[in-house]
């Protein structure tokens, strides 16, 4: 059995039963953490096939991106500074109508490479041609939770369900459980109640969790109240969608009654601060959600609306905008932001053996260089990770015990080829869009 020892590191486990940080060693056996100790003599270096010098590293659990649309990275910067409705209807949807499977594959590869280099070890995706996203995930070594995005429109309805069932059959639990599948109805405001009823039936049949956009904009909520007589949160609850394990992305415009529903149904929330700010959607009420015991993870959304997939930046934004919105500097402190970025994110996705560093858990581990000017002096490592660190500080990434990034270099992916292919695909799409005008 292959064993890797990370030695003499500053370790942040995010395990409630451990100190916030300590100096020590981690022994990984195959895909699992075997031992963590602050007594170096307890692990003999001779037991390891590989020894990694951690003396310059802050070691922590890999970051968990709980919402995104990976292939949209090829549209990065294509449609900026627009409100969501106009952004979708005049820019994004017309280009997406021309997508080919190879576009999605290389867009996903571009996003996966970016996420790995920024310390993300698990990402969640909702899009089209999801078999190609699964292929990219399998090749890269990243952990993935995938959904075929379903809009519930008549012309595409049957194909959406067929694609979803194929994705489940071909990929759910694949690669040693590293790839999982969720159901992906887009939202309460597309498809209608009959469509959502079919999603309910499929969830009942498969037992799979659901991810859905919810209360992202004020227009969404107001439109649902006008048409259905209730909020979009209440609508999903009435149809029964929230009776399953659900990850609700955005959750910006929530009433107290909506928050009560989410708490009662134990819905997990994916907070996407960067995307919500850029699209002018608003600021999610994170303090109110956490105070009600609702678990909140972090997500980047797609790179077409963010415009990066930097989970460290999302941690910082989550903390800062909550403080500003409530005028309370104690809200979403550094440790809470870290918990949202890893263990709470893993929890809402149903990934029970990731999110913390603990013997018996999966070896999804990242290391950030700590001898940086902007991390000096190191008074509080947790605060530095949230308020001062950067994606460029990430030096080591391991998923399932396999090194995906070492000394800042990708180990499983060809970065230059990915950049070239993604750029070529983006150019083709944009030029085709101009020709169709």
Q: Are 262 and 381 members of one domain?
A: no
Q: What pLDDT does 437 receive?
A: 56
Q: How many CA atoms lie within 13 A of 233 on its CB side?
A: 27
Indicate the pairing of strand 402-406 with strand 50-53: unpaired
Indicate the pairing of strand 179-181 with strand 402-406: unpaired
Asked whether residue 94 is assigned to any structural domain, the reply reads yes
Q: Are 105 and 55 members of one domain?
A: no
**For residue range 165-200, what is the model confidence (pLDDT) as tens digits?**
999 999 999 999 999 999 999 999 888 899 999 999
Q: Are 212 and 333 members of one domain?
A: yes
b/e map of 371-396 (b: 16 or more CB within 10 Å)? Answer: ebeebeeeeebbbbbbebbebebbbb
Q: Which two tokens stand for residue 333?
A: 């402190």
Strands, E, within 275-401: which ranges? 296-298, 365-369, 394-399
Q: What pLDDT does 192 receive?
A: 87
Asked whether residue 437 is assigned to any structural domain, the reply reads no
Query: How many domains does the structure of the chain reveal?
Result: 2
Indicate the pairing of strand 50-53 with strand 3-11: parallel
Domain range for 217 is 63-348
Q: For residue 283, what is the domain's CATH number?
A: 3.20.20.140
Asked whether residue 28 is assigned to any structural domain, the reply reads yes
Q: Are 11 and 116 members of one domain?
A: no
Q: What pLDDT does 70 receive?
A: 98
Asked whether residue 417 is assigned to any structural domain, the reply reads no
Asked whether residue 115 is assigned to any structural domain, the reply reads yes
Q: Are 368 and 291 members of one domain?
A: no
Q: Are 247 and 106 members of one domain?
A: yes
Closest CA to 212 of 236, 192, 179, 243: 236
Q: Are 168 and 247 members of one domain?
A: yes
Q: What pLDDT does 84 receive?
A: 80
Q: How many CA atoms lie within 13 A of 308 on its CB side?
A: 14
Q: What pLDDT does 436 receive?
A: 63
From first CA to last CA, the distance across the chain in angstroms is 59
Q: What pLDDT does 187 receive?
A: 94
Q: Are 53 and 131 members of one domain?
A: no
Q: What pLDDT does 51 receive?
A: 96
Q: Are 311 and 380 members of one domain?
A: no
Sequential DSSP letters for 111-158:
HHHHHHHTTEEEEEEEESSHHHHHHHHHHHT-EEEEEEEE---TTTHH
Q: Are 342 and 246 members of one domain?
A: yes
Q: Are 166 and 305 members of one domain?
A: yes
Q: For residue 401, what is the domain's CATH number?
A: 2.30.40.10
Q: What pLDDT does 191 receive?
A: 83
Q: What pLDDT does 431 receive?
A: 85
Q: What pLDDT does 371 receive?
A: 95
**For residue range 314-326, what is the model confidence (pLDDT) as tens digits?**
999 999 999 999 9
What kind and span of H or E run contains 11?
Answer: strand 3-11
Q: Are 187 and 143 members of one domain?
A: yes
Residues of the chain with pLDDT under 50: none
Q: What pLDDT does 433 receive?
A: 64
Asked whether residue 378 is assigned to any structural domain, the reply reads yes
């Amino acid at each position: 059995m292959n064993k890797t020892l990370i030695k003499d590191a500053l370790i942040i486990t995010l395990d409630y039963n451990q100190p916030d940080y300590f100096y020590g060693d981690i022994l990984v056996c195959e895909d699992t953490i075997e031992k963590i100790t602050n007594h170096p003599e307890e692990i003999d270096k001779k037991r390891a096939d590989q020894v990694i010098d951690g003396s310059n590293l802050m070691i922590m659990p890999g970051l968990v991106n709980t919402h995104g649309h990976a292939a949209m990275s090829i549209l990065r910067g294509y449609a900026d500074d627009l409100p969501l409705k106009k952004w979708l209807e005049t820019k994004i949807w017309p280009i997406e109508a021309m997508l080919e499977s190879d576009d999605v594959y290389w867009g996903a590869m571009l996003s996966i490479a970016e996420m790995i280099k920024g310390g993300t070890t698990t990402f969640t995706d909702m899009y089209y041609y999801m078999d190609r996203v699964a292929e990219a995930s399998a090749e890269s070594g990243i952990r993935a939770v995938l959904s075929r995005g379903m809009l519930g429109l008549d012309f595409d309805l049957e194909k959406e369900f067929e694609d979803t069932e194929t994705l489940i059959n071909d990929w759910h639990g694949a690669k040693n459980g590293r790839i999982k599948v969720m159901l992906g109805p887009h939202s309460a405001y597309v498809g209608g109640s009959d469509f959502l009823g079919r999603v309910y039936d499929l969830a009942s049949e498969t037992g799979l969790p659901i991810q859905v956009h919810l209360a992202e904009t004020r227009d969404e909520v107001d439109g649902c109240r006008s048409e259905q007589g209730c909020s979009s949160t209440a609508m999903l609850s009435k149809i029964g969608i929230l009776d399953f394990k659900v990850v609700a992305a955005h959750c910006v415009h929530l009433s107290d009654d909506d928050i009560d529903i989410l708490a009662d149904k134990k819905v997990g929330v994916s907070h996407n601060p960067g995307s919500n700010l850029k699209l002018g959607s608003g600021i999610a009420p994170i303090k109110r959600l956490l105070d009600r015991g609702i678990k909140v993870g972090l997500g980047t959304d797609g790179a077409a609306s963010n415009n990066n997939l930097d989970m460290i930046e999302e941690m910082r934004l989550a903390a800062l905008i909550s403080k500003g919105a409530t005028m309370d500097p104690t809200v979403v402190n550094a440790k809470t932001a870290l918990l949202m970025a890893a263990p709470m994110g893993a929890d809402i996705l149903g990934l029970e053996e990731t999110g913390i560093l603990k013997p018996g858990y999966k070896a999804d581990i990242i290391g950030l260089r700590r001898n940086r000017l902007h991390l000096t002096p190191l008074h509080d490592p947790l605060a530095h990770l949230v308020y001062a660190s950067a994606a460029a500080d990430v030096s080591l990434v391991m998923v399932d015990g396999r090194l995906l990034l070492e000394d800042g270099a990708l180990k499983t992916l060809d970065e230059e080829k990915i950049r070239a292919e993604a750029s070529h695909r983006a150019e083709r799409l944009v030029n085709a869009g101009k020709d169709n005008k």
